[in-house]
Amino acid sequence: MEHRRLGSSGLKISEIILGNWITHGSQIDDDTAISCVHAALDAGITTFDTADVYAATAAESVLGKALRNQRREGVEIATKVYWPTGPGPNDRGLSRKHIRESIHGSLRRLNTDYVDLYQAHRFDHETPLEETLHALHDLVVEGKVNYLGFSEWRAEEITAALEIIQRDHLTSLVSSQPQYSMLWRVIEAEVLPLCQANGIGQIVWSPIAQGVLTGKYLPGQPVPAGSRASGGEGAGFISRFMTDEVLNAVQQLKPIAAQANITLAQLAIAWTLNRPGISAAIIGASRPEQVSENVVAAGVTLAPEIIDAIDAALGSIVVTDSALTSSPNPRP
């Protein structure tokens, strides 16, 4: 497993990260989830992504259990704050109150004194940005957080944050966590170049487009039982790709993957890691074998003709509209 610098920071993270959104703490039992984490460690993955909201906080607890006997200095733990974790009006967002209460809860569930990366899970339209950035900075000063980032922020929101950070001499933002895949490239026009110019690395989620880029969904055929497209949390994210036009185009990628001597899922992950400005790609797993299969993408260099063939196969179905990056307003 290769490691890359997170943006311009000194932190190195595994180029493939194991995330536990949707599955761990909810869709699979804890023993299986812990086995997935241990399979990731065996494969050389040292970086783990979670969030307080995943499985109503249970995902953090499962990750804490899985890493309990690991040398803390040998792993990087990333979690996030924003989405509701309770019924009250302050159990959400990026206010100083919620940020401070959320980090304390996350540290307790993760069974650690600090997290390596703490990210704003969306942009909060109801809290002054200065309040959010100062509250996050204070956590770094207090030793509860090492590095700061954000997820799914628009270019103008990032720019506003950078101006406040420079003016008030606050801790830099070093990571952006956007959705990014062969099919979903909305960061390329604005967010990606802005982040590259300011030392912010991309930790991308859904590099296989919620499973669409595995090729298992066939045009004109029923979705496999128990798959993400069949319902439950995550079904809304995948629905935009479940058209015959997209699924037909994805089938055209199979011979390209064969040419590269890797699976279609491995091709999708390798594609993201071959793009400029990408620090790591997050994979999920409901079985340990999925981890072993997907880590093969680490260190794979795709030839220019492979990249060109992918673009030709997908053509106009690729989504590039930067306006599709958004945060709820008002917040949930």
Longest dimension (CA), the chain: 56
Contact (CB, 8 A) for 203 and 177: yes
Q: Is 118 a catalytic residue?
A: no
Catalytic residue among 54, 82, 118, 180: 54
Please give the Cα distance from 235 to 227 (Å, whole number).
9
Closest CA to 174 of 193, 148, 194: 148
Contact (CB, 8 A) for 11 and 279: no
Please give the Cα distance from 307 to 287 (Å, whole number).
29
Structure tokens at 106: 């996350």
How far is CA 117 from each of CA 47, 176, 232, rounded to the nearest angstrom? Answer: 10, 11, 28
Structure tokens at 82: 């924003």
Judged by DSSP in three states, 326 sits in coil
Q: Which residues neighbour 81 within 8 Å (Cβ) at sequence distance 6 or greater?
A: 51, 52, 94, 98, 99, 102, 103, 106, 118, 119, 120, 121
Judged by DSSP in three states, 190 sits in coil
Catalytic residues: 54
